[in-house]
Chains A and B, each alone.
Chain A
Amino acid sequence: MLLGFNRAGKTRLAKWYMQFDDDEKQKLIEEVHAVVTVRDAKHTNFVEFRNFKIIYRRYAGLYFCICVDVTDNNLAYLEGIHNFVEVLNEYFHNVCELDLVFNFYKVYTVVDEMFLAGEIRETSQTKVLKQLLMLQSLE
């Protein structure tokens, strides 16, 4: 599960790699928002959550969370999130929250280029950006 939301809890990105029904998804988002936003910069970027753990990172008012198995490598996913945000930043040229709001479908394209079926798919920023530009040119 990959989530992006702002401090107020408005979802900006929600990608699910497990199946839930709509109510459950909404409930999960609210729960994750509740546990993550209370933490401040002095806290770790990891939260134990149900049978999983959440690894999150805050960028200005936006939180990006990824929910993984407890056995997964925390730091790798933390770097994964950062990598993703760097790509967003490059793609939208100094990304801000509004970019994500108005181009939400593009954000999903970026997600799909970098993660697939819950796995990290491509980590090379240049490769991802090249593909994204190709896709954009098709529009």
Chain B
Amino acid sequence: MALKMVKGSIDRIFDKNLQDLVRGVRSHREDEAKYISSCIDEIKQELKQDNIAVKANAVCKLTYLQMLGYDISWAAFNIVEVMSSSKFTYKRIGYLAASQCFHDGTDVIMLTTNQIRKDLSSPNQYDTGVALTGLSCFVTPDLARDLANDIMTLMSHTKPYIRKKAVLIMYKVFLKYPESLRPAFPRLKEKLDDPDPGVQSAAVNVICELARRNPRNYLSLAPLFFKLMTSSTNNWVLIKIIKLFGALTPLEPRLGKKLIEPLTNLIHSTSAMSLLYECVNTVIADCCVCVKTDTCPRPPQLCVQKLRILIEDSDQNLKYLGLLAMSKILKTHPKSVQSHKDLVLQCLDDKDESIRLRALDLLYGMVSKKNLMEIVKKLMVHVDKAEGTTYRDELLTKIIDICSQSNYQYITNFEWYISILVELTRLEGTRHGHLIASQMLDVAVRVKAIRGFAVVQMATLLDNTTLLAGSGQHKSICEVLYAAAWICGEFSEHLEDPVHTLEAMLRPKVATLPGHIQAIYIQNAAKLFAAVLNGQQGTPDCQTMQESSQLLIDRLPLFVQSADLEVQERASCILQLVKFIQKLQHKEVEVGEEVTALFAGELNPVAPKAQKKVPVPDGLDLDAWINEPPSESESEDEKPVAVFAEEELRHARPHHTEVDEKELARRREARKQEQANNPFYIKASPTSQKGYQDSTGVEHIPVVQIDLSVPLKVPGGWMSTSDKYLKLEEERRQRERKERGKKEKKKKKKREKRSGMGRRHDSGPESEEDIAPAHMVDIVTEEMPENALSSDDDEKDPNDPYRALDVCDIQGNLQNGSQVVVSIIFENKSTSFLKSMEFNVLDSLNSKLQRPEGSGPHDGLTVPFQLPPGVSNEARFIFSVQSIVMPQRLKGTLTFIVKADDSSTHEKLDFKLHFTCSSYLITTPCYSDTFAKLLESADLKGTSVRLQEVSLPFHHLLAKICFHHHFSVVERIDSCASLYSRSIQGHHVCLLVKYAHQTVTIDAKCDESSLLGNVLEEIKKTFSQS
């Protein structure tokens, strides 16, 4: 024993202390992990010794390692041992370690209750203090319940040092054990009057935090806090109290009025910026409340002045906060902020992006008809010199947001806007091509009077080859060509030289564009062709017509070869049509009218709410059953049959096509149910989703009617820049002002004659209402069907509980041997706007998300759309897969910005993508003779599984296998069937399914045995789940 002691103390000399460990870690930079694992081994030895000093040293070292990120939860029991040492030095080490690494799940915590209680009541205030501090970190609901009384007693401890700690820790106790709040609150309230200012401020802190969660319960304390606010000189406490009032005023508007005076005094007197900022913020919040109740004493002119000082300050922090607060004022008092436009525009030059973004936010609210052009012009200058593409893209979206807000309310000249959009297309590498495109389409369709101008501009865009050239790297910007082509085709009557545009649309280079754009090109080339024919009708010279037919016949074959089905189909269809027309032309038959008739009728925009406004006809009860639903058991049986039948439908067997509408609806329902049970289901083909939608007559769709009362000015040149419009607009307004001035003078004279009293004579700045727009655009009125309901009750459900995004369906589409396309439907179930979504997946060795060239292997992909509340959209991602013989699970995250009214937050959502082996199979039909040959070949290896106690009917069972695992039935004889499927890499999978006495035997053959094994495993799972 003595020897052991001696040996222990000799070892002790060689033990590393903390300093040695720190030095060691620093000198082993290269192989830190290895060094630390050897240290941990040493520590484990040290912890086995009886000597508490050694243990404490070991625990201290562990705490250091924990900070560096190493797991020390295995030493939890040793930590408790050190905590219970009677020596303060060791006890402190123990508590520190516990506070750093214990959490609700640590099971040894329940061993500590008595020890902590002992320490709390220790005569030594430092023992108590250290226990309280530690407890604040690792308090669990159990500890809170057991120790609440002890801590409550400590709130009246003789030493302020302990009182203060006890008060603060009560907050944690309340959170973990809410029942303790009621009995403890009176004492907590007493502490607001504690003689020690530290304890007082601790109590203020706790009550403020509580009140932030539930302000209503603390209204009664308002007078007490009011007294504190006027008497206290501690800025930290004042900030807290003012923040508390900020939470209380929405509940009690009278409080807001009362607060204005002391807050104003503070704003004038304080030198502490933090306090000033808090006061300003609260005054702003008060005013928001006041505005709602129409009792606002006066606009917060003082606040705006102070904020201006903040924004002008050279300190970036103050600038940022100033802008932040300014945007709050903007909501209630836009007028008082608008005069500071210059300042906000200056901030756009700031080096810090967060300041620039805040300034942009402010600008959005500051525009008016009067200053829109000027602001956008400045923004365009910034777009040109912006460095990062992210910021430039942000500017771009902001410009479009600003211009298009409230139905283009502030745009007085749409020619100018089109020019701006055209200028934006020159931005390289922007991600927002589709945004520009949709704006072009929207404006061209809805503002009739602008079409002529827009078409000319779009024709120039089509003619311009730079956009085509850039299509390789910057995919997004060529989206504008989509809009350009459509606008030129649809409104071709405005084209000056349709033949030239037709030629531009059929250049071979077009074939490098994405498929959907090519398709639009071809379709609209056909429309243009029709327009050319129609235009030349009746003229003796038919050369132009023949030339353009020849042009189409020469150029279209390139597109007929396209890999994109849509392009191919349209091209070959139109090619045949043109060939036919050419034949007729040779016979000198007039065809112009007939061809034009193909594209007759105008497309009109439909108001988004239109469908809902259509009144339900009398006697139609949408909730009533048309047919009684089939009984429960029947539907169980029927469901899979439907699925199975539909599987065959895909192969377009003629005898299945005569299923009626109802049947289809029921099948669709059944399939939806199947998929709902399996949210990560990857199915072979996303087709056949559409096509069932019954198309109602076009004439019933309500349209948005747009009316332009003022005719357009003749544009001065081809590619007019937006600047010109600014000037024109200025001139126009000046002219108008003069005219108005004249009129006014006349009026005045009359009036003077009559009453002899001059009323007003201000040549000051014109007011908002006085600016007559160049294009009177009445966009707001959406024409509704007759006898439409006027009530506007289609607001979104405010009770939507989740502000989460729902990845609701993952469908896989398999193309070539190593690529898998996963389409994901993002549905925004929240009530907030989601944007900047980034999709990222942790690649495995086998499966990799395909990212654009130049991005790193961990970069996320931007989801190419934003989601307003309640909207869902689908995005596709391509994965490359090397081996398909094993199932895969990929972890991924989706990050996105939730945009609420006043703030936006960055959030993320984790998900898993499950690539089953079945998802690598493609339903491929196979004839029984081919199947027999396959089975005979020696390449296939066989295996079999047996499924017990399957109580499904046999056809149901087959349907399940076909549906979930992408097989097709080759042949079925009684209770025996052969099934076939093929993997994307060409493996043949053959199954022979036999069914007898609730037992299913599946004999399977495949040229890849592990793939087969996994598929069978998955089939087994499908049946064990049901």
Contact = CB atoms under 8 A, between A and B. Distances in A.
Interface of A: 10-14, 16-17, 19-22, 25-26, 29, 42-51, 70-71, 73-76, 78-79, 101-102, 104-105, 108-109, 112, 116-117, 119-124, 127, 131, 134-135, 138-139
Contacts of B903: 70
Contacts of A10: 68
A131 B352 contact: no
A101 B71 CA distance: 19
Contact of B321 (A14, A71, A75, A102): A75
A73 B277 contact: yes
Nearest to B234: A123
Contact of B354 (A19, A46, A108, A121): A46
Interface in B526-573: none
A123 B236 contact: yes
A25 B235 CA distance: 32
Contacts of A14: 67, 100
A8 to B, nearest CB: 10
Contacts, number: 138
B236 A44 contact: no
A138 B88 contact: yes
Interface stretch (B166-174, B466-474, B947-955): B166-174
A48 B133 CA distance: 29
B168 A119 contact: yes
A11 B273 contact: no
Contacts of A13: 67
Contacts of B100: 14, 16, 108
A62 B75 CA distance: 30
A119 B206 contact: yes
Interface in B69-125: 69, 71, 73, 88-89, 92-93, 96, 100-101, 103-105
- Sorting the interface of chain B by its residue count into under 10, 10 to 19, 20 to 34 or 35 or more gives 35 or more
Contacts of B278: 73, 76
Contacts of B201: 123
Report which residue of A10, A11, A51, A75 has the largest number of chain B beta carbons within 10 angstroms of its beta carbon.
A75
Contacts of B317: 44-46, 74-75, 78
11 contacts: A43-B354, A44-B320, A44-B355, A73-B278, A78-B317, A109-B96, A116-B136, A121-B202, A122-B198, A138-B88, A139-B88
A117 B137 CA distance: 7
Contacts of A135: 126
B931 interface: no
Given A102-B18, A116-B136, A79 B274 contact: yes
B98 to A, nearest CB: 12
Given A75-B273, A75-B277, A50 B354 contact: no
Nearest to B208: A119
Contact of B239 (A48, A76, A78, A108): A76
B168 A42 contact: no
A105 B63 contact: yes
Given A79-B274, A122-B164, A117 B354 contact: no
Given A11-B69, A43-B351, A44-B352, A117 B236 contact: no
Contacts of A26: 69
Given A45-B317, A73-B243, A117-B136, A108 B96 contact: yes
B168 A121 contact: yes
A28 B396 CA distance: 32
A75 B903 CA distance: 19
A110 to B, nearest CB: 12
A105 B169 contact: no
B169 A116 contact: yes
Contact of A48 (B126, B354, B908): B354
Interface string B147-175: 00000000000000100110011011000
A74 B321 CA distance: 8
B808 to A, nearest CB: 24
A122 B202 CA distance: 8
Interface string B316-353: 11011100000000000000000000000000000110
B104 A104 contact: no
Contact of B171 (A47, A119, A134, A139): A119
A51 B168 contact: no
Given A74-B321, A116-B168, A119-B206, A44 B316 contact: yes
Contacts of B463: none
Nearest to B358: A44
